[in-house]
Amino acid sequence: MDDPRASDGRLPADVAQDIEGGEDPRHPLRRLLARLRRRIDRYPRLRTVYRVVVGIIGGSVAVLGLALVPLPGPGWLVVFLGLAVLGTEFAWARRSAARLKRLLARFWAWWRARRDRTRTSPADGAG
């Protein structure tokens, strides 16, 4: 599958617009989830159970993603999904996900620059 990003690294306008639409608090799914969250918050025991379940599910998904990282496939995507699930309840997970995204973005920029340099430089010893 091709990367939907343009050559300058930005997402196409239609993809960016879809992402913004999904993040809109007026979106019907967002409103439904907000109502559900308010209902859970009314009951302290239910809130505790909910946080434990979110922690178990998010942690399991993140650990599974870390196990998949060395294998071909969506390892980092699964890690981010696990952190996103954890981030719905835990501020440390939101901060960790943001930091990890920045680190990976720097790594990929370094990797692409390195790859481009090796492609454009003449081969050593040729001549």
Annotated domain spans of the chain: 21-116
- Is the predicted pLDDT of residue 53 greater than 80, yes or no? yes
Interval 10-32: pLDDT, tens: 667 776 777 677 677 787 888 88
E strand map for 6-119: none
- Look up the pTM and report it: 0.60
| CA distances to 8, 12, 55, 68 from 3, in Å | 12, 11, 31, 20
